[in-house]
């Protein structure tokens, strides 16, 4: 279940009440025709609010529905994400003919890991041109137009609201149709230096209304769309990785499937977790001059105090086997429908779905073992989420169950590492 922001409003405005009513109507529709009619009405209302910058109205409605009607909350969240990351628009040609287009904001996530620093920021013009060409040639349907943002984003630098996402989509869409190149974002927040982190290319894909956006949607590929998509992604990785390596020197990289903005970001959040564990073990073994088998990992579940025992994230503390001092830590957050018992993957075949799902702890242990860590301890106690009062870093459970600040030994070389 996706969760709203913690800000709340005591009384819904008329605009918020309309959003709530439309979302509830969609959830209760008894036919596809009725559902689509309500969706059209909701989309029009959201379009108006996003265009005029009323994020507070949308947030207030989401907060209220999260408490009162989870089904309507999901409907509204799906709607606002869809309307903010995609749109339809028309332009008038020189001869006075109006042409209509669909646009979708696509994120191309890049998993990166290093012992040094992971770059972000402005993309040089030649690299931007090369990446755009590969993106279009290997992933997109014929007849599409494309504009790639000239900024390599960290998660802290992505649009922070639906209103900002909406603005980004339309700015890039105009650049795609006009064939212009945007200037790189200059006022972007600094990002914390992690050993493993995600970087994003943002791309607006524009096509005539109703036409396919991606290669696997084209008529000749529809019968084998899954195989065509796999081939397209493999070619994107093969051709674009050398160019991405120029953007991220000193880093190992893995290019994920480019998808609609919110879906791609959620998938990248999940996929970076095992990379963070591998990067932590690699960093510790090289920095301390030890083998992975000389390390101990301690896994503990953490959640909000009022969450009735719910685990929101697991924190993995690392110590040396000869000591109980926590020297490093990795945070493994839970997303969507994930929980302590594990949840079958979406789209899983019926037979496979009947099998007992892998729990997050089992998955963490598997990645630790694969990295060579053989001594692994799991605390059964659930801890309240706590952070260091001085620096804000998360606290980790040590082998005896005490919460501790992760600190490298005093004689260890210093670097740019941070807790993921």
pLDDT in single tens digits along all 420 residues of the chain = 344 544 444 678 999 999 999 999 999 999 999 999 999 999 999 999 999 999 999 999 999 999 999 999 999 999 999 999 999 988 877 777 888 999 999 999 999 999 888 999 999 999 999 999 999 999 999 999 999 999 999 999 999 999 999 999 999 999 999 888 888 877 777 777 789 999 999 999 999 999 999 999 999 999 999 999 999 999 999 999 999 999 999 999 999 999 999 999 999 999 999 999 999 999 999 999 999 999 999 999 999 877 577 899 999 999 999 899 999 999 999 987 776 666 654 444 445 455 678 899 999 999 999 999 999 999 999 999 999 888 888 999 999 999 999 998 877 666 544 544
CB 230 within 8 A of CB 139: no
Q: Single out the residue of 190, 172, 192 nearest to residue 182, CA to CA.
A: 172
Neighbour-count burial of 315, counting CB atoms closer than 10 A to its CB (0-12 exposed, 13-18 middle, 19+ buried)? buried
CB 327 within 8 A of CB 406: yes
E strands, 14-97, in order: 86-92
In degrees, rounded to 5, the angle at the alpha carbon of residue 266 between the alpha carbons of residues 213 and 373 is 130
Measured between alpha carbons, how far is 232 from 138 in angstroms, rounded to an integer?
5
Query: What does the pLDDT read at residue 64?
Result: 95
DSSP structural state of residue 243: H
Q: Which helix (H) or strand (E) holds 163?
A: helix 162-178
Q: Single out the residue of 16, 292, 248 nearest to residue 109, CA to CA.
A: 248
Query: What does the pLDDT read at residue 325?
Result: 94
Measured between alpha carbons, how far is 386 from 396 in angstroms, rounded to an integer?
9
CB 284 within 8 A of CB 290: yes
Query: What does the pLDDT read at residue 263?
Result: 96
């Amino acid at each position: 279940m996706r969760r709203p922001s913690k800000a709340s409003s005591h009384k819904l405005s008329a605009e918020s009440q309309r959003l709530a009513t439309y979302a509830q109507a969609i959830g209760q529709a008894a036919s596809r025709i009725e559902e689509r009619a309500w969706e059209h009405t909701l989309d029009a209302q959201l379009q108006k609010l996003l265009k005029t910058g009323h994020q507070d109205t949308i947030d207030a409605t989401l907060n209220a529905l999260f408490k009162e009607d989870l089904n309507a909350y999901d409907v509204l969240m799906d709607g606002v994400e869809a309307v903010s990351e995609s749109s339809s628009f028309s332009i008038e040609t020189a001869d006075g003919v109006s042409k209509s287009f669909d646009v979708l904001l696509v994120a191309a996530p890049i998993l990166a890991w290093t012992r040094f620093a992971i770059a972000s920021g402005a993309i040089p013009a030649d690299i931007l041109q090369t990446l755009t060409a590969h993106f279009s040639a290997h992933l997109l349907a014929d007849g599409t137009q494309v504009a790639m943002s000239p900024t390599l984003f960290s998660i802290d630098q992505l649009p922070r609201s639906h209103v900002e996402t909406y603005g980004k989509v339309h700015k890039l869409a105009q650049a795609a149709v006009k064939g212009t190149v945007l200037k790189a974002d200059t006022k972007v927040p600094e990002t914390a230096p992690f050993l493993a982190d995600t970087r994003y290319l943002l791309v607006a894909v524009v096509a005539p209304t109703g036409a396919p956006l991606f290669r696997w949607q084209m008529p000749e590929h529809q019968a084998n769309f899954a195989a065509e998509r796999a081939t397209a992604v493999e070619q994107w990785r093969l051709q674009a990785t050398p160019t991405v390596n120029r953007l991220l020197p000193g880093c190992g990289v893995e290019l994920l499937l480019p998808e609609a903005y919110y879906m791609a970001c959620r998938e990248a959040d999940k996929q970076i977790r095992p990379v963070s564990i591998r990067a932590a073990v690699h960093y510790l073994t090289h920095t301390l001059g030890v083998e992975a088998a000389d390390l101990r990992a301690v896994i503990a579940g953490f959640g909000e105090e009022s969450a009735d025992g719910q685990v929101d994230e697991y924190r993995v503390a690392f110590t040396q086997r000869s000591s109980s001092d926590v020297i490093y830590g990795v945070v493994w957050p839970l997303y969507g429908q994930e929980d302590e018992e594990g949840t079958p993957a979406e789209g899983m075949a019926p037979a496979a779905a009947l099998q007992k799902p892998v729990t997050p702890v089992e998955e963490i242990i598997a990645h630790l073992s694969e990295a060579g860590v053989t001594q692994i301890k799991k605390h059964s106690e659930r801890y309240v989420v706590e952070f260091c009062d001085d620096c804000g870093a998360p606290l980790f459970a040590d082998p005896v169950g005490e919460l501790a600040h992760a600190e490298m030994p005093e004689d260890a070389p210093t670097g740019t590492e941070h807790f993921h």
